[in-house]
Structure 1
Amino acid sequence: MEPLRVHELAPPPVGEGSLTPHLAVGEASPPVLSWLEPVEGAGPTGASTRAGTYRLRVARLDGEAWGEPATVVESDRFFVNWADFPGVEVLADGRLVAHWLERGGQGTYDYAVRVARETDGGWSEPWTPHEDRSPTEHGFVSTEASEDGYVMAWLDGRNTGDHGHGTGMSLHGRSVAEDGSGVDVELDALTCDCCQTDMAWTERGPVVVYRDRSPEEVRDIALVRRRPDGTWTEPRLVHQDGWTIAACPVNGPAVAARGSRVVVAWFTAPADEPRVLVAFSEDGGDSFGPPHRLDGGEPVGRVDVVLDAGGTALVTWVEDVGAEQAEIRAVRVAPAGPLGEEVVVAETRSARASGFPRAVAQDGGALIAWTDDAAGRVRTARLEWGAPR
């Protein structure tokens, strides 16, 4: 088994204070990096959020270096949050669709999802995919391209009403056609409040993973899949961890898929024992094998996962090493268990400002992006295995 190799790429074209990186790749498109960077008056308004004017920017990878950046939107109304961040998806025609969060006027957690599509002359007018316009939370978006558009999922606060932040979030989805049409559908009436969703495309349709929430405050990872007729399956658990916690851990799952193989990675902590787990499905997400534990005993979580062309997964996560220091770690995993030793991708911090590292599969390896909060900028690296490039 060839060891994992880490090769940091040339610095991406990001401004000082850049944060919330996200990666996407298409069938015939180079990888795309998106991020937020401050323009003026930017600064923290609390432990989790920032205010000021920001730009959402994108750049495409050209060989071993990132190309010139383009601005999707510049605004003083971004909801800038360490865990709930913008992203892009590469559509079937190679163009991008971008999503971000826009603050309303009625409190910290009044914000909406905004979406724009790349055009010949720039970007389309933004629109909102959720039919609800209440002054509540709408975020933690995931997207996947389809043959004639794209599919979106998000956490929706319409059922929270006046009950305040942290109660009654639900999972919603929308299949968006090329002309922008589509219907907002509730996929799960009660979910964890602020854990990321993730989506991947299987041969049986797109699957969405998220942290569920039972009336007894059990918060395990669940999955739904869109059927060919456009309806969605009932939620089912990936694994019964039995993690009961009366608060949101802000630690969502990740999913990747090829054909009928689906792999899900997640953080959990039943009996106050934090761990990073991964499990495989061979039937499009209908059932999963026993999970494998990957962490070194002190995981922070913040997982991501990719699948290579051979069906082997690469899982990344953040591991605490003491004194507020942490490491971004990665390991390859097969259905039978880990392959080889984990590697340290980069040193980081366990603080919220370090954000969530993001990864995508690319050319027999993977790309990873993360926020280096000590340096005040986004960094990227390639993870390789097999013959050197």
Structure 2
Amino acid sequence: MRLPAFTFAAFALLLSACQRTSAPPRPANGDYAVQTWVLPAEAGSMAPALVAGPGGRVLLGWINRREGRRNALQFASYTEADGWQSQPRTIAIGNALQANAADPPHLLATPDGALWAQWVQTQPDAAGGTDVVLARSKDGGMAWEQITRVNTDGMPTEHGFAALWADGSDGAGVAWLDGRGKRPAPPHGAATGAHDEGEGDMQLRANRFTLDLARGSDAVVDVRSCDCCQVAVALTRRGPLLAWRDRDANEVRDIATARYQQGAWTAPRIAHADGWKVEGCPVNGPALAAHDANVALAWYSEGSGQPAVYLARSQDAGDQFDPPVTVAAGPNVLGRPAVALDARQVWVAWLEQADRGQRLQLARYAPDLSRRLQTLTLATLATRGLASGYPRLVVDEGGAWLAWTDVDASGVAHLKGARVAR
């Protein structure tokens, strides 16, 4: 893996007329409408990361994967007033950089102006494991000069499914699933399942990094978590809150949360006792958003006997969650939710199975979840299974931004985007 100081993608910017959203007429009833958001990622791109940055910017990251080329982690910056700010920039490139729709990269903008990126790469010498990697740019993404492995155990096992958050004005926190307590992964190329849980337990760990990537001490947040469901994080008034899929001794895999406060992580607490007992990892983690002490949590479960997406709120920074509302239920529900909130509403997106692929759905709820305000079908996807990964969702004063992965008729991945606004 090589980390270039500054690399442009080898294609020109889209015409400025195509850089902005293509807006339909505004609805007369005050509801939100879907607009096409043209993204600058070339064919072969997948696994989006989407976060809000300073000054009204939206930061989009992705893995560029093309046959015959090394994988590349790229990003671009967008404002509604000016469109895409530059050509896509390359953060890292190499065959070791993992392209996994279920374990996408993450971006973070800290208040000091630095940008952070996290991704997963395979271990050298065909060891069979993966490592969580963190990089930092002090100049807004022009140069990525520092890189470190988050996990330092050196075990040939899986590390990934990370969450990234701002730690103070110039640091970052990272939580990840860590397989050092499990048996070593099989050698590269050996016949195995996509996520062989094997013997031993997957842990949820967390650490903090300074601007210069000096690390703190690893903390074990959960001694036994589900093996390959995404971890989510949100910053509350009382500190960062994590959500993940727990795994108890009876194979019940409900969603747990913990908050970092007074220098330590609180004990894991089940957000809602679905009682979903499943023998293998469902690869379907939770989504989390917060504003001050208000928290929105979305997740997938089959604890009721059928696939369903649930949404719950907390008014005390995640100490307790109200009984959830059912966002969608039935055999076509795939889950993989994304959630966001603003002063007027809670947003939740999820995937459903369709006749010839999948549907990306979006709903708006009143802040107290007492009523659904609107439901939209954002897109019909040609892809099936896990290739669509996790849709990404962020909000601002004007509405919502979304990015997701689809495939064309020849099976090549493409990034798609939408702006949802009045």
1:55 matched to 2:80: no
Deviation at 1:341, TM superposition (A): 3.2
User: In structure 1, how many angstroms separate the alpha carbons of the residues matched to 2:396 and 2:90?
Assistant: 24
1:305-350 Cα offsets, whole Å, 9 max, x none, are: 001134x210000011234x22100001232334223100111133
Aligned residue type for 1:140 = F
1:71-93 Cα offsets, whole Å, 9 max, x none, are: 10111111221201111111112
CA contact (8 A) 2:131 2:150 kept: no
What TM-score comes out, normalization by structure 1 length? Answer: 0.91
Aligned residue type for 2:74 = R
Deviation at 1:136, TM superposition (A): 0.6
2:101 paired residue number: 82
Q: Classify the secondary structure of the residue corresponding to 2:65.
A: strand
Aligned residue type for 1:66 = W
Deviation at 1:383, TM superposition (A): 1.5
CA contact (8 A) 1:21 1:371 kept: yes
Correspondence for 1:37 among 48, 58, 64: 64
CA contact (8 A) 1:142 1:197 kept: yes
What is the aligned-residue identity percentage?
35
1:155 matched to 2:177: yes
Correspondence for 2:416 among 368, 379, 382: 379
Runs of 4+ in 1 over 6 A off after TM superposition: none
1:97-124 Cα offsets, whole Å, 9 max, x none, are: 0011111146585010111101335002
1:233 paired residue number: 266
- Where structure 1 has 5 or more consecutive residues not aligned to the other structure, the ranges are 43-52
CA contact (8 A) 1:22 1:35 kept: yes
Aligned residue type for 1:115 = L
2:223 paired residue number: 189
Deviation at 1:128, TM superposition (A): 1.0
Larger Rg: 2
User: In structure 2, how many angstroms separate the alpha carbons of the residues matched to 1:309 and 1:243?
Assistant: 33
Q: Classify the secondary structure of the residue corresponding to 1:337.
A: coil
Deviation at 1:354, TM superposition (A): 1.7
CA contact (8 A) 1:92 1:149 kept: no
Q: Classify the secondary structure of the residue corresponding to 2:387.
A: helix
2:146 paired residue number: 125
1:284-306 Cα offsets, whole Å, 9 max, x none, are: 00001010001152210110000
Deviation at 1:363, TM superposition (A): 2.5
User: In structure 1, how many angstroms separate the alpha carbons of the residues matched to 2:125 and 2:273?
Assistant: 38
Please, what is the CA RMSD of the aligned residues? 1.9
What TM-score comes out, normalization by structure 2 length? Answer: 0.84
CA contact (8 A) 1:263 1:281 kept: yes
CA contact (8 A) 2:307 2:329 kept: no
User: In structure 2, how many angstroms separate the alpha carbons of the residues matched to 1:166 and 1:363?
Assistant: 43
Q: Classify the secondary structure of the residue corresponding to 2:107.
A: strand
Deviates more, 1:216-225 or 1:360-369: 360-369
1:327 matched to 2:359: yes
Q: Classify the secondary structure of the residue corresponding to 2:165.
A: strand
CA contact (8 A) 1:141 1:152 kept: yes
Distance change (3 Å), C-alpha of 1:370 and 1:238: same
Correspondence for 1:263 among 282, 290, 296: 296
Correspondence for 1:110 among 119, 129, 140: 129
1:5 matched to 2:39: no
User: In structure 2, how many angstroms separate the alpha carbons of the residues matched to 1:107 and 1:333?
Assistant: 48
1:49-76 Cα offsets, whole Å, 9 max, x none, are: xxxx111000000326333211101111
1:358-379 Cα offsets, whole Å, 9 max, x none, are: 1111233111001121263101
Deviation at 1:14, TM superposition (A): 1.1
User: In structure 2, how many angstroms separate the alpha carbons of the residues matched to 1:253 and 1:158?
Assistant: 23
User: In structure 1, how many angstroms separate the alpha carbons of the residues matched to 2:126 and 2:298?
Assistant: 33
